[in-house]
Structure 1
Amino acid sequence: MALETGKKSVFRAGAYVYVEGDEDSNDIYIVEKGEVGLHGNNDRIKLHKPLVRQGEVFGFTSTLCKRPRMESAIARRDSVIITLKRERFIELVQNNPKVAIKILNYFANELRTYNEMMLSLDPQDDDFIPDESRLFDLARHYRLAGRHDYARHILESCAEQYPGGAHSGEIRSMLAETRGQDASLSGGSIENGSSRIFRDGQMIFAEFEKGEDLFIIKEGRVKIIKVGGGQEILLSVLKDGDIFGELAIISNKPRNATAISMGTTTLLSIKKENFSEVLGKSSAIASKIFMAISQRIWFTYIRLESKVYAHPITRIYAFLENKLLEDRVSLKSTGSVTLTFGIDELLRMSGIPAAQSEKAMEILLDDPNLEFNFGQVAIENPSILSTKAKFYRSRDHISSWDGDAPSRKEQRRTAAPARKADTGADPDEDSPPKRPAEPFDETGAVESTDRDEPAGRVGAGLKLPSEEINLD
């Protein structure tokens, strides 16, 4: 299958294909000829795949989840780039199962890269608790809370997944105790072909369980919860068409939250082995699945990005900026936004040690753009917050910097950095040039860099079979 609907452009060495933070991320790119380097503004993060060669695809993680670009893409030498719209790419993948599996494998490796970096930043826990024990402790929580149906679900799962494990004797004993209790709630879901029907309040899966499938809600609602400090914490309520449990088909990690049905709920269950078959049946499902999985990668990356800074105040402002992006708030917007957590939780989520929190809190409370109420952070102007975040990032490498807020002059300079052409830049250098150079067509004429309509036309002889697309 040829990419007849793709658009072809030629980028000179040093030209930007796109820039990190671009909010208009509708395009996916294939290198027909040449090489493209991927660069992040934060050099403390190693990108999963920093170099894209002939036949390889790039830019699809942000595009598939409709999020701002995670990195800048820069031609390392004169390169011919094919541009595909998101919908065309989904169609191509839907009709090419091998390509779909390659994308899944790419996502799995990308997520593994960023998760390993995230783990390296967290202090080592000498009291590491195995997933088996965490799952067993969750069963005990629900048993004490009187939810014997939830406890039984988890105990049965624990017995199946960890036969002969450290808690196997206790599990058998507890299962014997719960047998007959809440009999009206016993039993699993009802299977109807590829669908599964859950009654109201039924546990679909538990946090720390091993997962084998993702779910699409065909009808009904599902609440996603975690248990912390002996209390249930509601994370979200999902509705018809939403996808959850997507980590199961790109990672061997256990479930990171618990899913409970709200009312009679019908779910479509998709396992990794029948993923390609499902994709071929519906472009809408294919789009939803790739959006859910790529969004998981995107969230992991931006949360990692906010953790790598040396100074607490930088981590806090980077975290706030990333929360705006997660909530799909444009960093160019000027309207007020309220986040549903307080200052204490902000410091905790930003990973600020208690010994360093006092100075950070002083700066936050002194910021006229922020207002803290009980369980809330109000941001008066997101564009101003983004400007301050850029300022703090630019100063983070200075070991003696004490985190003082920027002056008005410094804010203006950080908010509107001059991007001048860097014609002397070596495309093989690790650091990117300062300004996107203009793409040009194959006749050598420089074309427009309008991001809404990538420059270039498809030649009559342009053929790039999809099976040659390399995502390894």
Structure 2
Amino acid sequence: MPKAMQYTKGSIIYFEGDHDERIFIMQQGAVLLTSTDIESGQPVAEQVKSGEFFGVKSALGHFRREETATALVPTVAVALTIQEFEILFSNNKALIMKMLRVFSNQLRQIHKKTESILNNIQEDQQTGLLAVAKSFYDEEQFRSACDVYMKFMKRYPNSPQIAEVQKKYNDAKLRADKLAAVSRGIPVDYDDDGGNASLKLFSLPAFERFAKTYEPGEVIIAEYEPGDCFYLIQSGRVQLVKCVNGNKKNLDVLKPGEFFGEMAILDNSARSATCMAAGKVKCLEFNKENFELLITGNPQMALLLLKLFCKRIYDQKRRFRILVIKDLQARIADVFLLLDEMNPVMNEAEKQRRFNVTISDVAHWAGLSPEVTRDEINKYVERRKVEVYENYMIVNNINEMRRTYDTRGGARGTGLN
């Protein structure tokens, strides 16, 4: 049963960094949430109003607390377990849509900060789509370039650039067909994962009418295009990429059971990334019109989406923390620490780590050019702290990376507020 908790003025409900999976609803009084801004290192404060939730993201994401919660006056807050919150959330349609939109907006704001620090120039939708197509063409991913050019022509048939875009499409199509002829006959299987909870939820025959299949390299949604659908992956994997100042950057690979495209639906904005099939892919496609009906009518789906936002917000903040580190040796060290968090070892006493990454991969995480990244990693190599091979690297003592991060300026922005 939810429990009403009474706190005297100045009481700490929880500290930043705590493991605590309770979720709170403010009943009466006032609570102040304090954290540290990742970019500036300055304290940030937010007051919780009566009837509002706090502690949701860290509880649902199973992360450490991101802020300290302090009672400003004598306060009563109702503490819920995750299960109690899920029951309450599932039975309140207005709450479902409000929290999804709030979390979507938080994730969007982190994306904007990340683009700003990477000096990524924001384009209008038409210019941005063409930049995305060109980035695929320049990397000889002609099938993907064709898809983006086609999306442009369908959405903007009256554009003064339509003739030039048609010409570029024809050129990319010719090149894509030649590559397809070379690779024809090579089997590509679907990558399935039937154990995922969201897959079981949508395995009913009634959902089959929403199913769509995509060939390897096919662009499902393109960065900058309007968002009018979102997707659930049933089989295969989907690669997320972003065009940063004309260059294509890999962001993530999504697996069966994961959603994508939902942010643009929730906040009526353009797509923030391109999603393309990595191998053969089968997705369920839901349009904007039935999104709210689908979400509020399927509480399990809403909860899965809410938890996904919690994870993505945390992951994006963790990535942003790396980008604001001024000292480049500390920044590279924190990339290795992130990779260590992403790939936990069985024996924590073991100090050596092997990461299946290249210079290009580390450059992506660090927000640096491959040339600068290579120079910084070579400094570690010269001190025998890192060994670099063709497709992997070995960090000889992960604790030394932690010390480098702590002592060379990396510790300033540790607050995942």
TM-score by length of 2: 0.72
- How far did 1:140 drift? 5.4
State whether residues 319 and 365 of structure 2, in contact with CA within 8 Å, keep that contact through their aligned partners in structure 1. no
Correspondence for 2:28 among 9, 20, 33: 33
Give the secondary-structure state (helix, strand or coil) at the position aligned to 1:50: strand
CA deviations 1:269-307 (Å, max 9, x no partner) are: 344553443234444322321122222222222222233
Correspondence for 2:210 among 186, 192, 195: 195
> How many residues are aligned here?
379
Give the corresponding residue for 2:156: 162
Q: Mind listing any 5+ residue stretches in structure 2 that lack a counterpart?
A: 182-205
- How far did 1:362 drift? 7.3
CA deviations 1:302-332 (Å, max 9, x no partner) are: 222233344334433444434444x2749x9
Give the corresponding residue for 1:54: 50
State whether residues 133 and 167 of structure 1, in contact with CA within 8 Å, keep that contact through their aligned partners in structure 2. no
Structure 1 counterpart of 2:95, one-letter code: V
Give the corresponding residue for 2:195: none
State whether residues 220 and 276 of structure 2, in contact with CA within 8 Å, keep that contact through their aligned partners in structure 1. yes
Distance in 2, matches of 1:84 and 1:299, equals 25
CA deviations 1:136-170 (Å, max 9, x no partner) are: 35445767888776444322311233343353222
Distance in 1, matches of 2:395 and 2:321, equals 21
Distance in 1, matches of 2:281 and 2:399, equals 43
Two-structure CA RMSD over aligned residues (Å): 4.4
- How far did 1:224 drift? 0.8
CA separation of 1:141 and 1:58: change in aligned 2, threshold 3 A:
closer
Distance in 1, matches of 2:364 and 2:336, equals 13
Structure 2 counterpart of 1:21, one-letter code: G
Give runs of aligned pairs for residues 246-285 of structure 1, distance below 5 A: 246-251=262-267, 252-260=269-277, 262-263=279-280, 265=282, 267-271=283-287, 273-285=289-301
Give the secondary-structure state (helix, strand or coil) at the position aligned to 1:21: coil
Give runs of aligned pairs for residues 93-132 of structure 1, distance below 5 A: 93-123=89-119, 130-132=124-126
* Percent of paired sites with the same residue: 20
State whether residues 385 and 395 of structure 2, in contact with CA within 8 Å, keep that contact through their aligned partners in structure 1. yes
Give runs of aligned pairs for residues 48-447 of structure 1, distance below 5 A: 50-123=46-119, 130-139=124-133, 150-165=144-159, 167-173=161-167, 195-201=210-216, 202-218=218-234, 220-224=235-239, 226=241, 237-251=253-267, 252-260=269-277, 262-263=279-280, 265=282, 267-271=283-287, 273-325=289-341, 327=342, 329=344, 333-335=348-350, 336-342=352-358, 346=362, 349-351=365-367, 361=377, 364-365=380-381, 371-379=387-395, 385-386=401-402, 388-393=404-409
Structure 1 counterpart of 2:314, one-letter code: W
The structure whose RCO (Cα within 8 Å, separation 6+) is larger is 1
Give runs of aligned pairs for residues 456-471 of structure 1, distance below 5 A: none
Larger radius of gyration: 1
Give the corresponding residue for 2:4: 8
Give the secondary-structure state (helix, strand or coil) at the position aligned to 1:296: helix
Give the corresponding residue for 2:200: none
Give the secondary-structure state (helix, strand or coil) at the position aligned to 2:127: helix
Structure 1 counterpart of 2:220, one-letter code: I
Distance in 1, matches of 2:109 and 2:242, equals 27
Which of the pair is proportionally richer in helix?
2
Correspondence for 2:13 among 17, 26, 37: 17
